[in-house]
């Protein structure tokens, strides 16, 4: 739907509206006390998107792959007219060639899930990425659900915990490229871990109510940043041959984490120490193991399994910190 140069920004921007929707739930809950009416109010707008297909054009790449060139050309002409650009007459031929080469590559590769665990390098990389997605989803949704157990105003706490996503995502948009994926990912996990543990330790102590909420917001700040980064970083770590397979497995790991999130958050009704410690320890471990992954920004991404095995082989913590230092200097200057 968008060009490569703005794809990362658009992906992060979607997260902003996701957070806005979560905040809106808290605002609606202030006025709608009946849970059934609240659920109905939240669900009804979804039906508006039934008309989505009437206004959004079909994917041009998909139309070209299906041999529906006339329909693809019609959409291209409309896009060119709206943007005030000349019609790209050769684009359909380029799409056909690109689709044909991709199909041949997929047939030649015939990659399977087992290929991700074939070599030690790919095996560990895959396991770390799966763990990242698992922890990210669990901590992100767990902290959101646990916000009503922090001891303050349940509505205000819920809204604040969702609203903190905005500065986190905006900051990630700014620093993700100059600081690098690895450093930003690790930092977000460490912030989520430290904030969660500190919030749990402060909870239940008289006079530390604001500290409890503040550290919980710090934890959600880190989790929100990681939730946005993990989609970009995960896709860049897997080679082209098995990228879709790797992202599919990672998404499944995230779903498992999100399923467990409400059960862990439910442990905090009597004491916040246990659930927040679980979120915190898992996040800290993720922050450490992330440093074992290679940096992907500015690198030629692997296309085959063989290239993936050698990708980042000679990278270490020092090179990652060097990338962050250089990027930080460029950003400041």
The DSSP string of 138-174 is HHHHHHHHHGGGSSS-HHHHHHHHHHTHHHHHHHHHH
Q: What pLDDT is stored for residue 95 in this prediction? A: 62
Q: What pLDDT is stored for residue 195 in this prediction? A: 95
What residues contact 247, with CB distance under 8 A and at least 6 apart? 234, 235, 238
Over pLDDT 90: what percentage of the chain? 32
Residue 25 has pLDDT above 80, yes or no: yes
- Give me 179's structure tokens: 């600081």
- Give me 156's structure tokens: 């205000």
Query: What is the reported pTM?
Result: 0.78
Q: What pLDDT is stored for residue 315 in this prediction? A: 60
Greatest mean pLDDT range, 21-25, 79-83, 110-114: 21-25
What mean pLDDT, rounded, does the chain reach? Answer: 82
Burial class (CB in 10 A: 0-12, 13-18, 19+), 41: middle
- Pick 116-332's CATH classification: 2.120.10.60, 1.20.1250.20, 3.40.980.10, 3.30.2000.20: 1.20.1250.20
Q: What is the DSSP letter of 206?
A: T
Q: Which of 145, 152, 162, 150 is nearest to 265 (CA)?
A: 145
Residue ranges of the chain that CATH labels 1.20.1250.20? 116-332
């Amino acid at each position: 739907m968008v060009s490569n140069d703005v794809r990362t920004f658009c992906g992060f921007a979607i997260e902003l509206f996701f957070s806005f929707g979560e905040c809106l739930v808290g605002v609606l809950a202030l006025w709608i006390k009946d849970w059934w009416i609240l659920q109905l109010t939240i669900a009804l707008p979804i039906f508006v998107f039934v008309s989505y297909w009437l206004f959004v054009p079909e994917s041009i790449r998909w139309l070209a792959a299906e041999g529906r060139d006339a329909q693809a050309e019609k959409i291209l002409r409309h896009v060119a007219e709206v943007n005030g650009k000349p019609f790209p007459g050769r684009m359909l031929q380029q799409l056909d060639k690109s689709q044909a080469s991709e199909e041949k590559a997929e047939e030649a590769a015939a990659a399977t899930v087992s290929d991700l665990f074939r070599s030690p390098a790919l095996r560990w990389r895959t396991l770390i990425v799966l763990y990242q997605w698992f922890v990210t989803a669990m901590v992100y949704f767990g902290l959101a659900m646990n916000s009503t157990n922090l001891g303050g105003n349940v509505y205000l706490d819920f809204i604040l915990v969702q609203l903190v996503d905005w500065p986190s995502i905006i900051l990630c948009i700014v620093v993700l490229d100059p600081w690098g994926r690895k450093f930003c990912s690790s930092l977000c996990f460490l912030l989520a871990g430290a904030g969660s543990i500190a919030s749990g330790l402060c909870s239940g102590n008289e006079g530390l109510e604001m500290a409890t909420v503040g550290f919980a917001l710090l934890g959600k700040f880190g989790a929100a940043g990681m939730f946005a980064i993990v989609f970009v970083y995960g896709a860049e770590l897997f080679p082209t041959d098995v990228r879709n397979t790797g992202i599919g497995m990672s998404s499944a790991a995230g779903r498992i984490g999100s399923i467990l999130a409400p059960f862990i958050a439910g442990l905090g009704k009597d004491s916040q120490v246990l659930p927040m410690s679980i979120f915190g320890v898992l996040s800290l471990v993720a922050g450490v193991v992330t440093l074992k992954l290679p940096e992907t920004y500015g690198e030629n991404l692997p296309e085959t399994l063989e290239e993936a095995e050698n990708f980042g082989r000679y990278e270490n913590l020092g090179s990652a910190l060097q990338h962050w230092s250089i990027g930080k200097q460029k950003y400041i200057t």
